[in-house]
Chains A and B, each alone.
Chain A
Amino acid sequence: MTENLVIIGSGPAGYTAAIYAGRAQLNPIVFEGFSAGGIPGGQLMTTTEVENFPGFAEGVQGPELMKQMRQQALRWGAQCITDDVIAVDFSQRPFVITTDEQSIKTHAVIICTGATAKRLHLPGEELFWNNGISACAICDGANPLFDNAEVAVVGGGDSAAEEALYLTKYAQKVHVLVRSDRLRASKTMQNRLLSHDRIQIHWNCEPVRVYGDQVLRKLEIQDIQSKDLTELFVSGLFYAIGHIPNTELFQGQLTLDPLGYIHTEGKSTATNIPGIWAAGDVQDHHYRQAITAAGTGCMASIEAERWLAENALLIESATMNLSLV
């Protein structure tokens, strides 16, 4: 059996595409992801308050927003499978999408795999990843091991500032390691960082190596100009140095831009292969917002529906709405 449409990813882009495709009776299959490239629900699962998503005058918790989007997709008949796609074959039609447990044939694909936090891959990092080193302070900060301990945040932007301030709830001292001599964070955030008595900013430096035994104990940091090395005794290290698009699966099959994002054509979400669209952060390093991800997810779904109809590939699920009442 060949499906109409497979959607890969379950952030705002994926669920919005699923809502539109469900309402268009395409019976979409959504691979929500599991542990590759983030978690089901996407990046907003790792944040607390979302203040700029229209429709929520008082703000909304990221996970709550994603739960609502998922419910809405399910309500319109999307079939959600909580698993990672581990391979795709776009060289034949129908396309083939593979997980550890199954392979699915489909006429159309919408890619919404988003982006994941960058890591530095320092010597020793592998040993302490998820064991002191993390890219999500909100997820991993509330840990008994950080109570009254010292931790470090790498980065100088808004997310670094946000993570550092959040970590002061738990840690006794937060070191912020900035590569240059200034912060890229907004003025408000800068002021909050600079005036906090338990946050210390280290300018012009970067971590070069991590040490520990069972757990992380110490960082070696290097002054970028003088190359001098110093030690910092911390039990946590948090990266806030940006994101990379989750496009590894598609390398060699789809056209990517020089930064690794999926290339889309003009004002559409079409990729270089007809029948495949890309929406959300995986094709956008400019806006990177939940609302733009949702917007492009909607575009991709409408484009896919038209293409399926024009190519007479559409199998409508006329009975679907009946089973939903």
Chain B
Amino acid sequence: MTLPSDNLSMQGRQALEQLQQISDQTILVKFVAPYCPSCETLAPVLEQLVTDYAGALQLVTIDMTEEPELAIMLAIRSAPTVVLFKGSTVIETIAGLKPKKVYREIVQKAIG
């Protein structure tokens, strides 16, 4: 899996936990796997959202094989799975690749 070279997306569980400590931020977490072509397909769509909602939305990418406990806790079975957090609360989970607008809709709903 090639990870984005810019800093639109942070990596790993630690980054997520740090963000969750700051405030009630809206955070998109993208769970990926080592072999996941559709994770790459999804990447630019989420990066566009982060650009469009600059400051209001954070993106964290987590490899579920590196964070098995978190993956199990959140019942992640498929890559990509996108989990939208408000702080530490899960607002929405999207398993598998869905039409682009679905990702925009959940973010719009959460941020308004």
Contact = CB atoms under 8 A, between A and B. Distances in A.
A325 to B, nearest CB: 27
30 contacts: A34-B41, A34-B99, A35-B38, A39-B38, A39-B41, A39-B97, A40-B41, A45-B38, A63-B37, A82-B44, A84-B99, A100-B100, A130-B81, A130-B96, A132-B77, A138-B35, A139-B33, A139-B37, A139-B78, A140-B79, A142-B65, A143-B65, A144-B68, A144-B71, A145-B71, A145-B72, A145-B77, A147-B68, A215-B75, A236-B77
Interface of B: 33-38, 41, 44, 64-65, 68, 71-72, 75-79, 81, 95-101
Contacts, number: 83
A247 interface: no
Given A35-B97, A131-B95, A140 B77 contact: yes
A229 B98 CA distance: 35
Identify the 3 closest CB pairs spanning chains A and B, nearest first: A144-B68, A130-B96, A130-B78
Tell me the interface secondary structure of chain B in the complex: loop
Nearest to A41: B37
- Name the residue in B37, B72, B75, B98 with the highest tally of chain A Cβ atoms < 10 Å from its Cβ: B37
Nearest to A138: B35
A128 B38 CA distance: 19
Interface of A: 34-36, 39-41, 45-46, 63, 82-84, 100, 128-132, 134, 138-140, 142-145, 147, 214-216, 236
Nearest to A33: B41
- Name the residue in A39, A134, A138 with the highest tally of chain B Cβ atoms < 10 Å from its Cβ: A39
A11 B50 CA distance: 29
A143 B33 contact: yes
